[in-house]
Structure 1
Amino acid sequence: MAATPGNPTDQAREAAVEAALGKLDLDAKARLLSGQDMWSLPALPEIGLTSLVMSDGPIGVRGVRWTADDPSVALPSPTALAATWDPELARRAGTLLAQEARRKGVHVLLAPTVNLHRSPLGGRHFEAYSEDPYLTGRIGTGYVTGVQQGGVGTTVKHFVANDAETDRFTVNNLVGERALRELYLAPFEMIVAGARPWGVMTAYNTVNGTTMTEHRYLVNEVLRGEWGFDGYNVSDWMAARDTVAAVHGGLDVAMPGPQTVYGAPLAQAVRDGRVEERVVDEAVRNVLRLAARVGALDGAEPAVAEPPAAVDGEALAREIARRSFVLVKNERRALPLKPGTVALLGAAARDARVLGGGSATVFPSRIVSPLDGLTAALPEGTLTYAVGADPNTELAVADKGFTLKAVCRDTDGNVIGTGSAPNGQIQWMGSDLPEGVTHAALHTVELTGTFTPRDTGRHTFGIKGTGHFTLTVAGTTYFDDVQLPAGDSDPFEAFFGAPVARAEPELTAGEPVEVSLTYVFALPEEIPFKVVAFALAHQEPARDADELIAEAVAAARAADTAVVVVATTDRVESEGYDRKDLALPGRQDDLVRAVAAANPNTVVVVNSGSPVELPWREEVAAVLLSWFPGQEGGAALADVLTGAHEPGGRLPTTWGPLADAPVTRVTPQNGELRYTEGVFIGYRAWEKEGRTPTYPFGHGLGYTDWAYESVEVEGATARIRVRNTGQRAGREVVQVYLAPTEPGPDRPARLLAGFAGVEAAPGETAEAVVEIPRRAFEVWDEVVGSWSFVKGSYEIQVSRSIADRRLTATINV
């Protein structure tokens, strides 16, 4: 997929790129490097170049329309994919996403995210894979390979050290060179070497005094120079700040458009002598190479002429989900469920949380909730349901019970177009407007329709966004004024900001009422692209929490098994802000404790994208982590709970209470965030500090048992024999950690050096073959500025988790 000397197809593609480049004048070159709208680059018909279209991922391909009208397959969260510890499954996920991209006319997927879980407070960790760079690199390599084998480009992001959301546009992350190399750059390096990605996205943040869109050293010298990356480098949206510094820093494309630091400003910089045209040519060459690879440049054979065979998206989403679920506790073999009655409890069991908030959001055509999945799987009459506790203590985008449409009017009040509104969210970007509507003519957008309440009581309605709004419910106008931003420096406040409550009418269950939210269209100065973004928000009546818990307890007491689903919310895990704590929102902890006291066979399903505290874990029989499980999550959950499939996941990050977490600082001080922990994050830091987490990195139980019988090491290859000693077939993830005999204070006690999944029937043996990479024996020498191979004695630790070591062997290198 990369240009390879001696490969005739690659050479022909490069020749087509050079021929196209030679036909372009300066203005066309500069224009090509600047987004023409929110998601695409301009077409250049004079060289046979079609418009290159990009789209957000990483769990699905949204396309150029941010609306439920254009549904997408929604896979489980990246933390879930990493929990499978299966690069081949990640490759299959990538192949499906390439299929989705081609269906939607998308050439480049803005994924995967391979930043690390530096601190558990990172609000966007559900969108990244792991705390460990090696596991991240292996899963990311599989994902990128799959997408690009489908003929669609990837942009590995966010390069680099974009590991928290607080002040992400302005923070200066101060990271030592060794930590940069051994941790934060490592997954990018692995993916460049193993998958040859066609793109990389540079981050908002600054690293050691230089903003990433201008970081000549990390982009030109490391990424392109040392690693040989030959793809294109695109800015995160609105990250590019300075024309000259960006192009000299190796940034190829500034997004989104039409107002960017490239285009006309870049052409003028060349004419003024501030930028040499050859620098622009190199950026254009990278973009044209991307176009050639994805089949958007005439005369160039695409990298993939025939796409892979079609993939069943729903089936793959279900498979990934069940293989990602991590069973962290299973006393008295509470799972699989035994025959009998089941009480399903928790608001998240009915209204499933299947994905995280922010740009990773897609809109699936269907969502299978835990209630849906278990209703279909269990015998009729054996399942009861109660809300118990609702994690949604804040307003959410209007959805269930609402029937809405969007009506667009001009300044005279004339209707100029209408659009569908599957929910209360309006996000029209660029030209994504209803038919007949233009930004020049648009004055107001009215979300109007009816709402049929599920419950009687005081409902709360609110507004998400900034500008002038008029909110009317059941004939009463509750708000007619300007709603200002909350003072955040993030220009995407309209997308990720919290809704503001504006009305609390008393409504009756089953009786429809008219609702209307009118927005006066005006673009904030800090948004240099055309977007219409706001939302009608809603919250159900707040029933007495103690009554809800009492109802759940009664249901649990009457059942043979109680299954409690607890969850986070969009206001806990999302792009745009970090977490304040690791507690479950609302009264969910109280619910679990009360149910566990009433029924000793209590199973808790934790529906979160990243770690939460589990203060009741010793009081329940089983704990199953389901992550954000994607659109088929409820069906996959039924598969696992009933025993049709075993939970296949292992923890890709350490779970523990915030008070014990070694690295917690995500808030800058005086604009700086110092990575003072160096190379000690995740399990490395927990071990250094001598602290015991709730559940260690790599931990996970299945429905069978395994005996680790032998390990043989020859060179850098470990061969491990394991036996299935249980009563059913299963899959085991054999983990290999490398521990220097004398690590010293500046080296972790042990590092993940390899892993392999094996399957076996009851009584059968299986062999796991793990190749230990040379890099596992190396450290970055900050004095000489290069990798140093550390000779000496090492222990090969064959393990079920970082804390559960089964076999050892010693090698000398």
Structure 2
Amino acid sequence: MPNTIRAAALATCAACILVPALASAAPDPRLDLAAEKRAEATVRQMTSAEKTVITHGIMPLPLGGNPPPIPADAVPGAGYIAGIERLGIPALKETDASLGVSYVMGLRKDGATALPSGVAQAASWNPDLLRSGGAMIGSEARAKGFNVLLAGGVNLTRDPRNGRTFEYLSEDPLLSGMLVGAAIRGVQSNNIISTIKHFALNGQETARKYVDVKIAEGAARESDLLAFKIGIEQGQPGSVMCAYNKVMGEQACANDWLLNKVLKQSWGYKGFVMSDWGAVPDLGAAIKGLDQQSGAQLDPAVFFADRLAAKAAGDRQWQARLDDMNRRILTAIYATGVDKHPVTPGGKIDFAANGLVSEQAARQGIVLLKNANGALPLAATAKSIALIGGYADGGVLSGAGSSQVHGEGGPVAVRAVSGTGVWASFIAQQYHRSSPQDAIKARAPGAAITFRDGRYITDAVEKARQAQVAIVFATQWMTEGLDVPDLSLPDRQDDLIEAVAAANPNTIVVLETGGPVKMPWLDKVAGVIEAWYPGARGGEAIASVLFGETNPSGRLPITFPRDESQLPRPKLDGSDTVEPSFTGDPAHPGDRLTTDYDIEGSDVGYRWFARKGEKALFPFGYGLSYTTFAASGLKTDGRTASFTVANTGQRPGATVAQLYLVSRGGERKVRLVGFRRLDLAAGAQGKVDMAIDPRLLADWRDGGWSLPGGQYAFALGENAESLGEPVTVKIAARRWKD
């Protein structure tokens, strides 16, 4: 597509999604009530045998030593739950994941549009961008015959070495909750069910099946659980997927406190809880709040079929629980319209239009971290450019595991990690077919462009020395199932960047990473952009930022530490004792591992840095632009806030206005309490009005929220460390239930 046409299409796409960022779009509660009443009526019509049909399912893939028979109407994907034709209950056909319709290790020979990684989308700070992305991937799921999308990853980034950092969104409960809620709304606009996952405190992949999270209830409620709560309020997901890990001694999928006391009783959640695949320890999980056993062949036994029926036949408590399980699953089906809008494989997908949705998300999520002496944007008249590393001649990196997505034709490059067969591709390093080199050539047609893969530093240095500009593409690969051991760039890439920068002072580094990395070479390069895993059209998005077609507007949704010593746990728990395994199963019977989240409590990410008085390499909320902005005139009463944002530079661009609580009762306490993305022409200004959620100011104590009376100070911030003059107001004490 010519650049002029592409720019016009993207402008149209952007105009569609840039509406007020914090507007709530929760469904009419009467629809939920109607769905619940329909579900109750259906349960009354069910026979005893029918009551264990929709409470368990299989993974309909030819995997494992003894895979179950695959029903004729199943679509190869993550899961299949049989329906009940007599009652008009459709089969549930499930696919991964938050970033698009999963590639399923290449077993299903079709393509899908890959969104940028979750953290890349979060860097846009734009809920409506995520809503558009959710609507897009939900439409592709429907076109392929799926009516459940296992989307909605919202666990907070407590440790950036977590192998699923790229899938999740941020370290802040407000930002994560608002974004995931918007994505879920988009998915479910297709009359399919979305999950929100992984409930809860799923913070590492090392020993993921048995690591036991230790945390006080107040700290959990003020952080990770608050992100889930906001996401559920905003998105109304039909299902919650519980996690692999333990929480305070109990498996998350058999955790009475999490599933019954918090989710269903305290929050009043009416949908159903599905297990993660292989996460159900026993039949007792049903009494503890689990409603559906997913991929049952991966568990020790099929608990939620004959065994569940036998319990219900002789025990009124179990009979009531079984009815409740069915009622919750049916409520989700009816509330989302799954039964009235059946799915059929073979629907038409407009990959060109959907690619533009992905590209727009990548453009808004790219973060400009450094731009010394106006090195960027590059001039289209550059005479020579050396491209180095990162498979930049062929494509852009993607994260691995169940969220792996690829377009038609599959990956352009694959780097094996370990193992053989289909499971090897589950954790292989793979690249999307979107070449940064091709996109750069299109924007600099008169330049002499060379590429070196970076394996030989001497060769790369020679090409860098010969060019006006050197662009090093540096990658940090992440996958479900494995954590990264540290925050360095692997394969001697730090040495490569150092050597290239010594040969050419006009060196730009493009980072394709799953999360933060250390940058020992930062002072020696002219520019750095964080492109994350930029999705199906990532090469185009990167080039558009490099050459100024896109004015970068991304802001970091997670803190970049200087090194691991700044983290609450400088050494990742289990990294020195647990044998790495993508399944996370114990290597030996009786294996134990505990991780102590009470160290930081609810002070996750930038809040931890503020508590410790530490300065990050790049703080939460940080990002540069090719123009300048100024925020002023803050007025607040502690419940609402208003202020003005102006574009004070020479280019149109977008910024993210950020409002922080900075002290409470004279005590320093930094918390994000509001944000808004604004697009402004050069010299233009915009008025921002926002509500402040009182939960962000309060503490969880004695079974409810407690807001101490006293002086509260708020400030506008360019990021969590660059804060303006505080405005102080007096707020009265109050308490309330969740």
TM range (shorter): 0.7 to 0.9
Which of 359, 365, 372 is residue 324 of structure 1 equivalent to? 365
Residue number in structure 2 paired with 1:371: 437
* Paired position in structure 2 for 1:23: 45
Q: Is the 8 A contact 1:112 1:156 kept in 2?
A: yes
**TM-superposed deviation, 1:309:** 12
Q: Residue 593 of structure 1 is aligned with which of 490, 498, 503? A: 498
Q: Residues 170-249 of structure 1: matches in 2 within 5 Å?
A: 170-243=210-283, 245-249=284-288
Cα deviation digits, residues 715-743 of structure 1 (max 9, x gap): 52222212212111011111000022446
Alignment CA distance shift 1:385-1:301 (3 Å): closer
Relative to its length, the structure with more strand (as a share) is: 1
Q: Quote the Cα distance in structure 2 between the aligned partners of 1:758 and 1:643.
A: 18
Distance 2:708 2:351 in 1: 47
SS of equivalent residue, structure 2 residue 286:
helix
Q: What pairs up with 1:736-775 in 2 under 5 angstroms?
A: 736-742=659-665, 744=667, 749-775=669-695
Aligned to 2:569: 663
Q: How does 1:567-716 map to 2 (within 5 A)?
A: 567-569=475-477, 573-656=478-561, 657-668=563-574, 670-677=592-599, 678-714=601-637, 716=639
**Within 1, Cα distance between the matches of 2:489 and 2:223?**
29
Question: What's 1:85 paired with?
Answer: 125
CA 1:310 to 1:555, structure 2 compared with 1: closer, same or farther past 3 Å?
closer
Structure 2 gaps, min length 5: 1-24, 61-78, 409-431, 578-591, 732-738
1:119–1:681: 8 Å Cα contact kept in structure 2? Answer: no
Contact 2:396 2:436 in 1 (8 A): no
Q: 1:281 is matched with which residue?
A: 323
Do structure 1's residue 292 and structure 2's residue 339 form an aligned pair? no
How far apart are residue 140 of structure 1 and its match?
0.9
Instruction: Return the offset for 1:636.
Output: 0.4
Aligned partner of 1:247: which letter?
Answer: A
Where does residue 388 of structure 1 map in the other structure? 454
1:147-546 equivalent positions in 2, closer than 5 A: 147-243=187-283, 245-257=284-296, 260-273=302-315, 276-297=318-339, 312-338=353-379, 339-340=381-382, 341-365=384-408, 367-389=433-455
Does structure 2 retain, via aligned residues, the 8 Å contact 1:325–1:626? yes
Deviation for aligned residue 1:260:
2.1
Distance 1:119 1:37, change over 3 A: closer
1 CA distance for matches of 2:461 and 2:556?
31
SS at match of 2:669: coil
Q: Is the 8 A contact 1:108 1:152 kept in 2?
A: yes
Letter aligned with residue 644 of structure 1: E
For residues 59 and 722 of structure 2, the distance between their equivalents in structure 1, rounded to whole angstroms, comes to 52
TM-superposed CA distance for 1:274, in Å, is: 8.3
Q: Partner letter of residue 708 of structure 1?
A: A
| C-alpha deviation, 1:50, in angstroms | 2.0
Moved more, 115-124 or 362-371: 362-371
Shift of residue 308, structure 1, vs aligned partner: 14
Partner Cα separation in structure 2 for residue 11 and residue 701 of structure 1: 47
**How far apart, in 1, do the equivalents of 2:337 and 2:233 lie?**
23
Q: Deviations over 1:355-386 (max 9, x none)?
A: 21111111212621211221222214432211
SS in 2 for 1:590: helix
- Matches of 2:651 and 2:304 in 1, distance apart? 60
Change (3 A) 1:704 1:217: same
The whole-number CA distance in structure 1 between the counterparts of 2:645 and 2:271 is: 42
- The question of whether the paired residues in 2 share the 8 Å contact of 1:84 and 1:648 is answered with yes
CA distance in 2, matches of 1:177, 1:771: 26
The answer to whether the aligner puts 1:54 opposite 2:94 as a matched pair is yes
**Per-residue deviation at 1:97?**
1.4
**Higher alpha-carbon deviation: 349-358 or 584-593:** 349-358
The question of whether the paired residues in 1 share the 8 Å contact of 2:388 and 2:454 is answered with: yes
Alpha-carbon separation, structure 2, partners of 1:563 and 1:63: 30
Counterpart amino acid of residue 673 in structure 1 = T
Q: Note closer, same or farther for the CA distance 1:91–1:770 as it changes in structure 2 (3 Å cut).
A: same
Q: Which amino acid aligns with 1:368?
A: S
Closer, same or farther in 2 for the Cα pair 1:770/1:3, shift >3 Å?
A: closer
Please identify which structure carries the higher helix content.
2
Distance in 2 (alpha carbons) for counterparts of 1:74 and 1:317: 7
- 1:630 partner letter: G
Deviation at 1:277, TM superposition (A): 1.0
State the alpha-carbon separation in 2 of the partners of residues 154 and 311 from structure 1.
24
Deviations 1:692-726 (A, max 9, x none): 11111100001101123322224522222122121
Are 2:245 and 2:251, in contact at CA under 8 Å, matched by a contact in 1? Answer: yes
Which of 1 and 2 has greater Rg?
A: 1
| SS of alignment partner, residue 520 of structure 2 | coil
1:768 Cα deviation from its structure 2 partner? 2.2
2:687 counterpart of 1:777: no
Q: Following the alignment from structure 1 to structure 2, what is the Cα–Cα distance between the partners of residues 688 and 2? A: 35
Tell me how far apart the structure 2 counterparts of residues 164 and 373 of structure 1 sit (CA, whole Å). Answer: 36
SS at match of 1:639: helix
Contact persistence 2:193–2:333 (CA under 8 A): no
What is the CA-CA distance between 1:14 and the residue it aligns to? 3.7
What is the alpha-carbon distance in structure 2 between the residues aligned to residue 216 and residue 560 of structure 1?
62
- In the TM superposition, what is the alpha-carbon distance from 1:286 to its structure 2 partner? 1.1
Residue 812 of structure 1: SS of its match in structure 2? Answer: strand
Counterpart CA distance in 2 for 1:40 and 1:146 is 23
Contact (CA 8 Å) 1:589, 1:615: kept in 2 or not? yes
Q: Judge conservation of contact 2:103–2:405 (CA < 8 Å) in 1.
A: no
Query: 8 Å contact 2:394–2:433 — kept in the other structure?
Result: no
What whole-Å deviation, never above 9, does each CA across 1:613-642 have from its counterpart, x for those lacking one?
A: 111001001110000100100000111101
Distance 1:80 1:724, change over 3 A: same
Shift, 1:137, TM fit: 0.7
| Separation (CA, whole Å) in 2 of partners of 1:701 and 1:333 | 11
Among 549, 565, 571, the alignment partner of 2:457 is: 549
Query: Which SS does the other structure have where 1:718 is aligned?
Result: strand
Unpaired stretches in structure 1, ≥5 consecutive residues: 390-547
Does the residue aligned with 2:131 lie in a helix, a strand or coil?
helix
Query: Given that residues 53 and 83 in structure 2 are in contact (C-alpha distance below 8 angstroms), is that contact kept between their aligned partners in structure 1?
Result: no
User: Is contact 1:99–1:310 with CA below 8 Å preserved after alignment?
Assistant: no
TM-score scaled to structure 1, two decimals?
A: 0.75
Which whole-Å CA distance do the structure 1 matches of 2:265 and 2:350 have between them? 36
**TM-score of the aligned structures, taking structure 2 as reference length:** 0.83
Report the 3-state secondary structure (helix = DSSP H, G, I; strand = E; otherwise coil) of the residue aligned with 2:480.
coil
Q: Superposition RMSD on alpha carbons, in Å? A: 2.4
Q: Are the structure 2 counterparts of residues 282 and 309 from structure 1 closer, same or farther at C-alpha, using a change threshold of 3 Å?
A: farther
Cα 1:712/1:635, change in 2 over 3 Å: same
What is the distance in 2 between the residues matched to 1:568 and 1:65?
21
Flag the 1:28–1:19 CA change in 2: closer, same or farther, 3 A.
same
Distance 1:236 1:358 in 2: 14
